[in-house]
């Protein structure tokens, strides 16, 4: 028998693949474990944060709903979140267009600096804006927080939308203009509908970014608290399980937004065929 | 501007850095004709198209569309129908919406839009596909939608930017002829840009051969193929046998050319350059005949067969004539007669009328 025919190779176990699976499971567990604590505590019958909870009760959810300061914080957060989403999505999309389509001096710098708000620590942005807004008497207004959050959220929109725009076939826009559309109308009727999934994803990202942002809100919101700030104050002063009830509600809210984003973020592919 | 000219470029100049994409180009497209801009990539043909469509402005010169100066008019205001290389159909709109797009941009009444879309889809025989999305159509059908969309608003002229490149060969020929038929039927003045010389020969009323930002030659397909003005055009269109030489004398309308290795050739020409002028003799491969079949020709060469490519209806021969030079010959395949094999010695010939004289001084730099 020749050397070639001697050995038939056997199937090999792919140890690398197995190790990767184990690693991923560990990471996921590590990330999910806090939820296993937060959820039960929110239904606790105890008066203090105590784990495992001694009994079942909805008192903390009741407490949340019956405390005006929690409700007003929630409303403020929603207000700020929606406002931030609208502003950051509009401005971010415009920046993305300028970066992908524009030719102007300093564009390379804009391109490099556009992600700066993500890279620069939040506290620095917060302090800087605080200094400015204190002079402008914007501290304590929900729209002041919204402005601060918009600065922070714009890069997310820019990154997502400009990626889609780079993949978008510009000859579509040319075709629209050649067929009688002004530039704006071409963008509105041809480009935007096709990159809509990316814009929606960017918008949801902006919302989530704002909705659980603490540091900027801590400096800017004053007595007009957002939900994360109210939670923070609650931890410092009282520590009762209301905070875990609020956390659960917040997690559910963000979860819904993420789900929506996945659903609506799909659809017509923005990538050229 | 004469009334039978629809589009005119006057001394159009555009440079990108040091590269002249358009080097003072003059061009007139006549009413109802299909004029092809033919050139290799980088010859400036795409820039020319962009300048006409309005996606680029020339640095100098003017563009006139039906006697109006449109040099700086935005694309949307030009009323030019355009078929793009990749069709550029809008994937989020169905066929009817795509075709109605230019009408909607013109704020036309709904009834009129419906009438026109039905008309345009009827012309390209896609009436039943109105509700389909572009991605549900074949390449050929998408091409026809793009054509319908380009003509539905009754454009002043039609621009075609290499519109057949994405189709496979067989379909391409069919669609080409279809587009040509519609273009003639609708009497649409058309400017067609391509790098495919075969396509240009099939479709065009006239061809402008472009190279390095200039139009090297403008003429009918027949003129371009049979009477190329310089080496570039001769090389770019079809396959050429080129023999360099010097004018030795003339006998009425026949020039006598002495080649570099001393052979004399006769070439029929209308205007014969003075003695001593450097010239190139062009003989197309299909004009060459095999003298061994018993034919008589006044120009002759002998050599050995270096390569035979059998194509079914015809065969291509490469004949080594010595001195490291080849002649390419294209002949109908036949049963019987002299069968050629690699290594056979052959005599080939052609008449003075089969050859074309190119004056070397006007040689284009490829």
Q: What is the pLDDT of residues A93-147, one digit of tens each?
A: 999 999 998 889 988 898 888 888 888 888 998 999 999 998 988 888 888 899 9
Measured between CA atoms, the residue of chain A closest to residue B55 is A174
> Quick one: B219 and B240 in the same domain?
no
Confidence of residue B270 (pLDDT cuts 50, 70, 90): confident
Phi, psi angles (nearest 5°) of residue A137: 60, 45
The pLDDT, as a whole number, for residue B361 is 63
Residue A266 has pLDDT above 50, yes or no: no
The pLDDT, as a whole number, for residue A1 is 60
Closest CA to B94 of B147, B133, B125: B133
> Quick one: B142 and B278 in the same domain?
no
> Quick one: B177 and B286 in the same domain?
no
Cα–Cα distance measured from residue A21 to residue B50, given in angstroms and rounded to the nearest whole number:
54
Non-local CB neighbours of B43 within 8 Å, separated by 6+ positions: B210, B211, B212, B213
Mean local confidence (pLDDT), B229-256: 90
Residue B204 has pLDDT above 90, yes or no: yes
Measured between CA atoms, the residue of chain B closest to residue A177 is B76
CB contact under 8 A, B102 and A273: no
> Quick one: B136 and B242 in the same domain?
no
Residue B7 has pLDDT above 50, yes or no: yes
Mean local confidence (pLDDT), A79-84: 95
What are the strands, taking DSSP E only, across B51-141? Answer: 60-65, 68-69, 80-83
Q: What is the biggest distance separating any 2 CA atoms in chain B, rounded to whole angstroms?
A: 76
Mean local confidence (pLDDT), B89-107: 94
CB contact under 8 A, B55 and A174: yes
Cα–Cα distance measured from residue A196 to residue B166, given in angstroms and rounded to the nearest whole number:
28
Confidence of residue B37 (pLDDT cuts 50, 70, 90): very high
CB contact under 8 A, B55 and A193: no
The pLDDT, as a whole number, for residue A4 is 81
The pLDDT, as a whole number, for residue A149 is 93
Average pLDDT, chain A: 87
Confidence of residue B226 (pLDDT cuts 50, 70, 90): very high
Cα–Cα distance measured from residue B47 to residue B51, given in angstroms and rounded to the nearest whole number:
6
Mean local confidence (pLDDT), B124-131: 91
Q: Which has more confidence, A155 or B295? A: A155
Q: In 3-state terms, what secondary structure has residue B149?
A: helix
Closest CA to B160 of B185, B195, B132: B195
> Quick one: B19 and B140 in the same domain?
yes
The pLDDT, as a whole number, for residue A222 is 81
Cα–Cα distance measured from residue A232 to residue A44, given in angstroms and rounded to the nearest whole number:
20
CB contact under 8 A, B75 and A178: yes
> Quick one: B221 and B319 in the same domain?
no
CATH for A59-265 (3.30.70.20, 1.10.3720.10, 3.40.605.10, 1.10.275.10)? 1.10.3720.10
Confidence of residue B340 (pLDDT cuts 50, 70, 90): confident
The pLDDT, as a whole number, for residue B1 is 46
Residue B365 has pLDDT above 60, yes or no: no
Domain with residue B285: its CATH number is 2.40.50.140
- % of chain B with per-residue pLDDT over 70: 97
Domain with residue B14: its CATH number is 3.40.50.300
Residue B35 has pLDDT above 90, yes or no: yes
Q: In 3-state terms, what secondary structure has residue A245?
A: helix
pLDDT tens string A138-169: 888 888 899 999 999 999 999 999 999 999 98
Structure-token pair, residue B74: 């935005």
Residue B57 has pLDDT above 70, yes or no: yes
- % of chain A with per-residue pLDDT over 90: 35
Q: Which long-range contacts (CB under 8 A, 24 or more apart) does B248-251 make?
A: B248/B275, B249/B275
The pLDDT, as a whole number, for residue B175 is 86
How distant is the Cα of A178 from the closest Cα of chain B, in angstroms?
5
Separation in Å, CA B55 to CA A178, A185, B10, B148, B211? 9, 16, 18, 22, 21
Residue A212 has pLDDT above 70, yes or no: yes
> Quick one: B57 and B180 in the same domain?
yes
How distant is the Cα of B82 from the closest Cα of chain A, in angstroms?
7
CB contact under 8 A, A171 and B135: no
Average pLDDT, chain B: 89
Confidence of residue B192 (pLDDT cuts 50, 70, 90): very high
Which domain does B171 fall in, by range?
Answer: 5-230
Cα–Cα distance measured from residue A132 to residue A130, given in angstroms and rounded to the nearest whole number:
5
> Quick one: B148 and B214 in the same domain?
yes
The pLDDT, as a whole number, for residue B337 is 65
Structure-token pair, residue B140: 């050929």
Mean local confidence (pLDDT), A182-200: 92
CB contact under 8 A, A174 and B84: yes
Mean local confidence (pLDDT), B117-145: 92
DSSP-derived secondary structure letter, B128: G
Separate counts of helices (H) and strands (E) for chain A: 14, 0
Measured between CA atoms, the residue of chain B closest to residue A270 is B91
Confidence of residue B121 (pLDDT cuts 50, 70, 90): very high
Q: Which residue blocks in B186-275 are alpha helix, DSSP H? A: 197-203, 221-226, 231-236
DSSP-derived secondary structure letter, B164: T
The pLDDT, as a whole number, for residue A269 is 36
Q: Sort out which chain B residues have CB atoms less than 8 A from A269's CB and list them.
A: 91
pLDDT tens string B9-25: 999 999 998 899 999 99
Mean local confidence (pLDDT), B133-145: 91
The pLDDT, as a whole number, for residue B139 is 87
Distance of CA B29 to the CA centre of its chain: 15
Domain edge (last residue) among B211, B230, B249 = B230
Measured between CA atoms, the residue of chain B closest to residue A194 is B92
> Quick one: B314 and B260 in the same domain?
yes
> Quick one: B145 and B249 in the same domain?
no
Structure-token pair, residue B151: 């003509």
Residue A51 has pLDDT above 80, yes or no: no
Q: List, edge to edge, every strand of the sheet that includes B19-30.
A: B19-30, B5-16, B60-65, B68-69
Q: Sort out which chain B residues have CB atoms less than 8 A from A189's CB and list them.
A: 101
> Quick one: B181 and B291 in the same domain?
no
Q: What is the ipTM of this complex?
A: 0.76
CB contact under 8 A, A171 and B84: yes
Q: Sort out which chain A residues have CB atoms less than 8 A from B153's CB and list them.
A: 179-180
Domain boundaries, chain A: 59-265
- Select the residue of A171, A178, A193 nearest B86 (Cβ to Cβ): A171
Domain edge (last residue) among B168, B203, B230 = B230
> Quick one: B122 and B255 in the same domain?
no
**How many domains does chain B fold into?**
2
Confidence of residue B110 (pLDDT cuts 50, 70, 90): very high
Cα–Cα distance measured from residue A247 to residue A241, given in angstroms and rounded to the nearest whole number:
10
DSSP-derived secondary structure letter, B293: G
Residue B194 has pLDDT above 60, yes or no: yes
Domain edge (last residue) among B175, B205, B230 = B230
The pLDDT, as a whole number, for residue B364 is 44
- Chains A and B: how many Cβ contacts under 8 Å? 69
Mean local confidence (pLDDT), B179-204: 92
Place of tokens 């358009």: B22
């Amino acid at each position: 028998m020749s050397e070639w025919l001697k050995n038939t190779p056997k199937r090999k176990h792919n140890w690398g693949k197995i190790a990767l699976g184990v690693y991923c499971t560990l990471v996921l567990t590590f990330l999910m474990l806090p939820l296993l604590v937060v959820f039960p505590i929110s239904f606790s019958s105890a008066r203090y944060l105590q784990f495992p909870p001694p009994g079942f009760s909805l008192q903390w959810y009741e407490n949340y709903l019956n405390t005006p300061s929690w409700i007003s914080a929630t409303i403020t957060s929603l207000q700020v979140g929606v406002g931030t989403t609208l502003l950051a999505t509009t401005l971010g999309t415009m920046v993305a267009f300028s970066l992908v389509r524009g030719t102007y001096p300093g564009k390379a710098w804009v391109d490099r600096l556009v992600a700066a708000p993500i890279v620069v620590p939040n506290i620095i942005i917060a302090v800087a804006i605080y200094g400015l807004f204190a002079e402008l008497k914007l501290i304590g207004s929900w729209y002041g927080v919204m402005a601060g959050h918009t600065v922070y959220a714009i890069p997310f929109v820019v990154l997502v939308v400009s990626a889609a725009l780079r993949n978008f076939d510009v000859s579509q826009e040319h075709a629209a203009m050649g067929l009688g559309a002004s530039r704006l109308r071409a963008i509105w009727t041809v480009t935007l509908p096709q990159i809509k999934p990316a814009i929606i994803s960017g918008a949801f990202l902006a919302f989530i970014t704002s909705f659980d942002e603490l540091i900027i809100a801590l400096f800017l919101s004053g007595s007009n608290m957002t939900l994360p700030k109210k939670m923070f104050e609650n931890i410092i002063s009282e520590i009762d399980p209301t905070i875990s009830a609020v956390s659960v509600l917040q997690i559910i809210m963000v979860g819904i937004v993420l789900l929506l984003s996945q659903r609506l973020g799909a659809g017509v592919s923005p990538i050229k065929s | 501007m004469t009334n039978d000219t629809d589009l005119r470029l006057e001394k159009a100049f555009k440079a990108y850095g040091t590269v002249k994409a358009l080097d003072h180009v003059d061009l007139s497209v006549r009413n109802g004709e299909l004029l092809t801009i033919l050139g290799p990539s980088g010859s400036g043909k795409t820039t020319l198209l962009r300048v006409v469509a309005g996606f680029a402005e020339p640095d100098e010169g003017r563009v006139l569309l039906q006697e109006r100066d449109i040099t700086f008019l935005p694309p949307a205001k030009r009323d030019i129908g355009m078929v793009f290389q990749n069709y550029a159909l809008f994937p989020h709109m169905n066929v009817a919406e795509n075709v109605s797009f230019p009408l909607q941009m013109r704020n036309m009444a709904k009834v009129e839009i419906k009438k026109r879309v039905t008309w345009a889809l009827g012309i390209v025989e896609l009436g039943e596909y109105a509700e389909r999305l572009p991605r549900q159509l074949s390449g050929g059908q998408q091409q026809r939608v793009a054509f319908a969309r380009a003509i539905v608003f009754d454009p002043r002229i039609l621009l075609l930017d290499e519109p057949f490149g994405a189709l496979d060969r067989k379909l391409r020929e069919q669609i080409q002829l279809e587009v040509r038929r519609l273009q003639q039927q609708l009497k649409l003045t058309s400017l067609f840009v391509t790098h495919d010389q075969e396509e240009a020969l099939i479709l065009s009323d006239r061809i402008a051969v472009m190279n390095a930002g200039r139009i090297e030659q403008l003429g009918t397909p027949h003129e371009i193929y049979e009477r190329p003005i310089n080496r570039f055009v001769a090389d770019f269109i079809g396959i050429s046998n080129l023999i360099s030489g010097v004018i030795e004398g003339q006998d009425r309308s026949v020039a006598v050319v002495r080649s570099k290795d001393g052979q004399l050739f006769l070439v029929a020409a209308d205007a014969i350059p003075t003695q001593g002028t450097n010239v190139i003799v062009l003989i197309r491969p299909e004009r060459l005949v095999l003298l061994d079949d018993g034919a008589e020709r006044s120009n002759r060469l002998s050599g050995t067969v270096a390569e035979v490519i059998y194509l079914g209806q015809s065969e291509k021969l490469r004949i080594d004539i010595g001195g490291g030079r080849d002649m390419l010959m294209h002949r109908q395949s036949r049963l019987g007669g002299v069968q050629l094999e690699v290594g056979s010695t052959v005599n080939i010939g052609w008449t003075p009328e089969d050859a074309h004289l190119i004056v070397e001084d006007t040689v284009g730099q490829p």
